[in-house]
Every structure is written in structure tokens, then in C-alpha cells.
Amino acid sequence: MKIGLDVMGGDFAPDAILEGAVDALGQLPSGDRVVLLGDGQKIREKLALMHADPDMFDIVPTTEVIEMSDHPAKAFSQKRDSSIAVGYNMLKSGLIDGFASAGNTGAMLVGASYTVNVIPGVFRPALAALIPNINGSSSVMLDVGINPDSKPDVLLQYGLLGTVYAKYVLGIDNPSVGLLNIGIEETKGSAAVKSAFEMLRESSEISFKGNIEGHHLFTDEMTDVIVCDGFVGNVVLKMAEKFYVVLKSKGISDDFFDRMNFEVVGGTPVLGINENVVVGHGISNRKAIMNMLLQTCDVVHADLAGKIKEALGA
């Protein structure tokens, strides 16, 4: 199994990317290999400084970089020898089995649409994030950023995509699904959310438990899958991340709140495309990159994209 890693993407690239890649090596399953995509000279120089054997990796040199400030679509089409463009072409050709990047998120999403494409039948891909439960488990919430204003049929499909993720990556046999709303009553919420409630309730492909509210999150009252549009999901995710920062600033350390640290999560998988892709935070440091790689490995070994295709085909 080969995992492609964009070495040039992120605010602290390439140093933090390569440091995280070296840290991940000892935790990857036997037979898995990391493919480094980026400036070949910088990669070898950094590995030498770390006294890391370059033969532990596959190195694919590229000559261009899609910067964080670049226009996603324009940059992807014009910078064909960038680490992101080359990575997606390798993914499409089967030369790598998964691709991870902390670079330009827009370019990563554009790349998915331009190369590996959306799975037939998927209305809109989604970014999925793990939400910690105080009991030690985790739930998957989607969408957390791609689609800020989702239609009811898209929200319905998020229930299915999240169910597949929870089942095959989190190992939950019959994942429960909840619709994040301003009240548990079916009459609450916007027109789109109320319509989505009806569609989710009538679906035979998921285990829908009804609406859940904000105060259900992070507790045993939280469902295994949390459905929401990208606007709401992004607000929840960033608020949770900030709680960790605030507690740290006050000198408070707690195992539960530590799980809200984006460094521990690493990245968010893009659900609904034909291959396995994980997008990391632009400010990812060494630890975050290591965990992004490990999460990509889990997604690839679970064959998440394949399982979603099977579910939609069924």
C-alpha cells in the first residue's frame, strides 16, 4: 500500500511535512510505504539533516508549488508539475492508493473533481470530521466545510456517507444517525432541514434517530453520525478546536479536551470521490502531519471509497 504525501503544502512545508512523515514510519503497517511529492533537493537535504535514510521513502520530484494564496482552479490547471497535481495524477493512475495534503484546500477539492472525479450518484462530496465523546468514543460529523448551504437530498446522502465511514473506519456495526438542528422536534429548523428530516426518517439505508441539538454533542446523547451543512459543521469544528486552545492557555490539561486538538486528528477525509483523499489543516505541524498520514492509512485500508461505491450501488 502506498500513501502519497504532498511535501510542499502547508504553512510549515516542507520541514514539518517531512518531520511528520519520518515520525509516522514506525507506526505504519508493515508493507505500507510513503511517497513524498515535492522539491527533490529540499526533501533529500531535510532528510539528511534528520539522519533519515531517503530509501525509506519513494521520492517523486516536482518543480511547482500551489501556494495557499493561489486561486484553486487556476493554479491546479496551470501548475501541472505541482505536488498536488502530480499526486492526483498518480492517484488516478493507481501509482498510489491514497493521497494526503495540508496544502491549498480549494486546490485539493478542485483536483478531486478534475482527476479522480466524484462517485456516480454522489450529489456533493463532503469533508468529515471526528467529534470526541466524553465516554472515549468518537462520532463522525459531515459536512464541515465544502457545502455551506446543502439541499435536503444532499443532507440525506450525508447520512449514508457518514454511515459507511462510521461502519468501516470507526468499526461501528449499526451506526446511529442524527440531524443537527435547533430542536429535537421535527417541526424545528429551516425548510431544508425539515425536508431532510422527512427524507432521513423514510430511508431504509440508515439508522436515523431524529434531530439532535448542540447540547447533545460530546456526550452519550450524541449519535454516531451527525448530519449538517458545511456552514454549521465548520462552526462546530472550529469552536471545538478553540476550546482546546483556550484550556491550554489557562494551563489546563485534560484527555477529553486534548482530543479536540487538530494535531491529534490530523486531517479530514473527502467523502464521495472515487479515491481516498485526506486534507489537513494549513497550519499543520509535525504531529499533525504524522496523524494525517496515519489517518490516511486507516482510510485506505478500510477501502472507504470502495465501500461508498458499494453502498450507493446497493
* CATH number (domain holding residue 18): 3.40.718.10
Note down the domain range covering 165: 127-261
- 132 and 118 within one domain: no
- 197 and 166 within one domain: yes
- 100 and 29 within one domain: yes
Q: What's the distance, CA 4 to chain centroid? A: 15
- How do the pLDDT tens digits run along the chain, 314 residues long? 999 999 999 999 999 999 999 999 989 988 899 999 999 999 999 999 999 999 999 999 999 999 989 999 999 999 999 999 999 999 999 999 999 999 999 999 999 989 999 999 899 999 999 999 999 999 999 999 888 889 999 999 999 999 999 999 899 999 999 999 999 999 999 999 999 999 999 999 999 999 999 999 999 999 999 999 999 999 999 999 999 999 999 999 888 988 888 888 888 899 999 999 999 988 889 999 999 999 999 999 999 999 999 888 75
- Cis peptide upstream of residue 143 (ω within 30 degrees of 0): yes
- 84 and 186 within one domain: no
Output the CA–CA distances (angstroms, integers) from residue 3 to 61, 100, 249, in the order listed. 15, 7, 35
- 133 and 97 within one domain: no
Strand partners, 298: none
- 38 and 164 within one domain: no
- Cis peptide upstream of residue 148 (ω within 30 degrees of 0): no
Output the CA–CA distances (angstroms, integers) from residue 13 to 26, 103, 238, in the order listed. 21, 9, 22
- 187 and 79 within one domain: no
C-alpha dihedral over 312, 296, 63, 45, to 10 degrees?
-170
Q: Does 53 fall in a domain?
A: yes
- How many structural domains comprise the chain? 2
pTM for this model (two decimals): 0.88
